[in-house]
Structure 1
Amino acid sequence: MIQITDKSQCCGCTACASICAHDAITMQPDALGFLYPVVDKDKCVDCGLCEKVCAFNDHYDTSLNLPKPDAYAARHKDMKEVETSRSGAAFIAISDYVLENGGVVYGAGYADHFRVVHKRATTKEERDEFKGSKYVQSDLDHVFRQVKKDLKDGLTVLFSGTPCQTAGLNAYIGKKLREHLILVDIVCHGVPGPYLWRDYIAYLEKKQGDKICWVNFRDKQEYGWKAHHETFKFVKGGGKMSFTYLFYQHIMFRHSCGKCPYTNTKRPSDITIADFWGWEKTDPNINKDDKGVSLILVNTEKGREIFDAVKDRMTVIPAKLEDCLQPNLQHPSVIHPKRMKFEQDYQCKGFEYVMKKYGDMGWRHKVGKMKGKMRRIVKKLIGK
């Protein structure tokens, strides 16, 4: 039976819980809300399927991968789609094609009060909820089983998610049903804990005295594509805060993000999409307006078929793979050395305490900014 003794060895994909015919495995949250499998020994028959299906290792399935992915810069020809998507709306082009041909699409959306979950869409209107970045690990409760049912019912399924999620789903589905499953992963930086996001929402609403009714993790319409600022809309007014400050410190990531085996160009999916950082090397004009451009990596022959079917919906420019190798295509994110202390402080002293101690809410951040400003002034004066 599966037993997690080292949290860095589990990505929480739910493949083990999904494959258990006896429902002996449930996904239980830790202090930050990350889900881990827990086995009910009274139900377990020790069949070993849960250990066999685990794909979070260096031996994940790459049997369908091309020797080297095809790389492209891409932007949807409909600027409305670009403006309402995170990068160049490549996901919209691919998912539109699947939906128009009677398929279904799975992606990260919201349930309850902005809790990030994976959802199923059969229309473009439902799919639009999957647009944009969501810097929280999504809940995959029962989603893998639902995908398998769709495939058995003869539907084409597009599943989009992080590479650990697509690798887990691929292992769970198996080769017999893989023909009609299209896997699209993102170049992932890491995933923060769901409880921190939940508490952040509650903190903002308490501070504002109002309910949040809309969230954008990276508001490029106001700040531009390169900026990383989230925007919230309240029922009675607007607001702009900063959850992403802690995100980029890597202090609230899942432990497994620091050991991610998928941070390379052998992606566990048919197509990989991402922001195209360094697009200037490929074409100096495609993103001159700073509205966003997608990087597309085509990883399998099936990926090539899908890309050929949708490329006319986009402005597409072939790219050299070496010009696309952003950090998380080369190595995992480096976890903050105070990650464990952060979790202990959060568990014992709460959200506001850690945001003031480690984030940009308290006096430590203000003092640090002032010191940095003074150093730059002194450096400039010495330079003169």
Structure 2
Amino acid sequence: MIQIKDKADCCGCTACASICAHNAITMQPDALGFLYPVVDKDKCVDCGLCEKVCAFNDHYDTSLNFEKPIAYGARHKDMREIETSRSGAAFIAISDYVLENGGVIYGAGYTDHFRVVHKRATTKEERDEFKGSKYVQSDMTGIFRLVKKDLCDGLTVLFSGTPCQTSGLNSYVGKRLRENLFLVDIVCHGVPGPYLWRDYLAYLEKKQGSPICWVNFRDKQKYGWAAHHETFKFANGGGKMSFTFLFYKHIMFRKSCGKCHFTNTKRPSDITLADFWGLQRTDPTFNADNKGCSLVLLNTEKGKRLFEAVQDRMNVIPAKLENCLQPNMIYPTVIYPKRDKFEKDYIRHGFKYIYFKYGEEGWRYKLRNFPNRVKQTIKKIIRK
């Protein structure tokens, strides 16, 4: 039976729980809301399938992969799609094609009060919920089994997620059903804990005195493609806070993100999508309006055929792979050294305490940032 002795060895993909025919494995949250498998020994028959299906290791399946990915920059021809997507809306072009041909889409959306979960979509309206970045690990409970049922029913499925999720799904589904499954991963920086996101929203609502009715982790329309600011709409107004700041400190990530096996160009998916950072080395004019551009990596023949089928929906430029390599395509994110202390503080004192101690509204951050603020003020005075 599967036993997680080191949390860094589990990405929470749910493949082990999904494959258990006796439902002996449930995914249980830790203090930050990250899910880990827990085995009911009374139900377990010790068949070993849960250990065999685990694909969070260096031996994940790359049997369909090209020697190296084929890289492109891509922007949807419909500017409205670009403006409402995180990058260049390549995912919209690809998923539209699958839906138009009777397929289904799986991606990260919301349930309850902006809790991030994976969902199934059969229409473009349902699929639109998957647009945009969501810097929280999505709950995958029950999703792998739904995907498998769709494939057994003869449907074409496009599944989008982090590479650890696509690797787990690929292993769970097996080669027999893989033909009608298109896997799309993202270049992932890491995933924060769901409970932190939940508590953050509750803190903002209490501070604002109003419920949140809309969230955007990276508001491109207000701040531009390159900016990293989240925006909230309240029933009585809106504002920008510092959850993204904590995200980029790598302090609230799942421990497995620090030893990710997929930070390379042998991706566990047919297609990899990302923001095309470094686009200027390929074509500085392609994104002159700063609305966003998708990096598209074609990793398999299946992925290549799918991309070619939708290429006329986008403006596309070829790129050299060496000009596209982002840090998380070379090595895993380095977890913040005080990550364990952060978690202990959260357990002992709650969200508000860690928000001010580690976040940009706390006095420590303001003190460290004070010299920069002075320099910026002096520059403004000189310009005048």
Whether these two folds match at TM > 0.5 is yes
Residues 75-114 of structure 1 deviation map (CA, whole Å, 9 limit, x = unaligned): 0000000000000000000000000000000000000000
Amino acid at match of 2:327: P
Q: Distance in 1 between matches of 2:286 and 2:373?
A: 35
CA RMSD of aligned residues (A): 1.1
Q: Distance in 2 between matches of 1:377 and 1:77?
A: 41
Q: Distance in 2 between matches of 1:213 and 1:359?
A: 24
Q: Distance in 2 between matches of 1:373 and 1:100?
A: 52
Unaligned runs of 5+ in 1: 379-384
Are 2:275 and 2:293, in contact at CA under 8 Å, matched by a contact in 1?
Answer: yes
When residues 203 and 377 of structure 1 are mapped into structure 2, their CA distance, relative to the original with a 3 A threshold, is closer
Question: Which segment is superposed worse, 272-281 or 239-248?
Answer: 239-248
Partner of 2:171: 171
Give the CA deviation at 1:374: 5.5
Partner of 1:303: 303
Residues 330-359 of structure 1 deviation map (CA, whole Å, 9 limit, x = unaligned): 000000000000000000000010011111
Q: Distance in 1 between matches of 2:267 and 2:374?
A: 44
Matched, 1:336 2:336: yes
Kindly tell me the number of residue pairs found equivalent between the two proteins.
378
Give the CA deviation at 1:373: 4.2
Q: Distance in 1 between matches of 2:173 and 2:144?
A: 8
Give the CA deviation at 1:153: 0.3
Q: Distance in 2 between matches of 1:145 and 1:227?
A: 37
Matched, 1:101 2:101: yes
Give the CA deviation at 1:215: 0.4
Q: How does 1:223-234 map to 2 (within 5 A)?
A: 223-234=223-234
Amino acid at match of 2:79: M
Q: Distance in 1 between matches of 2:19 and 2:241?
A: 40
Give the CA deviation at 1:366: 1.2
Are 2:242 and 2:361, in contact at CA under 8 Å, matched by a contact in 1?
Answer: no
Partner of 1:67: 67
Partner of 1:82: 82
Q: Distance in 1 between matches of 2:374 and 2:286?
A: 38
Residues 293-320 of structure 1 deviation map (CA, whole Å, 9 limit, x = unaligned): 0000000000011011011100000000
Unaligned runs of 5+ in 2: 379-384
Residues 171-192 of structure 1 deviation map (CA, whole Å, 9 limit, x = unaligned): 0000000000000000000000
Give the CA deviation at 1:363: 1.2
- TM-score (norm. length: structure 2): 0.97
Partner of 1:327: 327
Give the CA deviation at 1:371: 3.7
In the TM superposition, structure 1's runs of 4+ consecutive aligned residues that sit over 6 Å from their partners are 375-378
Partner of 1:357: 357
Partner of 1:17: 17
Amino acid at match of 1:24: A
Partner of 1:181: 181
Amino acid at match of 2:350: G
Amino acid at match of 1:27: M
Give the CA deviation at 1:65: 0.3
Q: Distance in 2 between matches of 1:21 and 1:133?
A: 34
3-state DSSP class of the match of 2:201? Answer: helix
Give the CA deviation at 1:376: 8.6
Q: Distance in 2 between matches of 1:75 and 1:142?
A: 33
Residues 34-88 of structure 1 deviation map (CA, whole Å, 9 limit, x = unaligned): 0000000000000000000000000000000001100000000000000000000
Q: Distance in 2 between matches of 1:377 and 1:5?
A: 51
Question: Which segment is superposed worse, 27-36 or 365-374?
Answer: 365-374
Partner of 1:382: none
Q: How does 1:154-165 map to 2 (within 5 A)?
A: 154-165=154-165
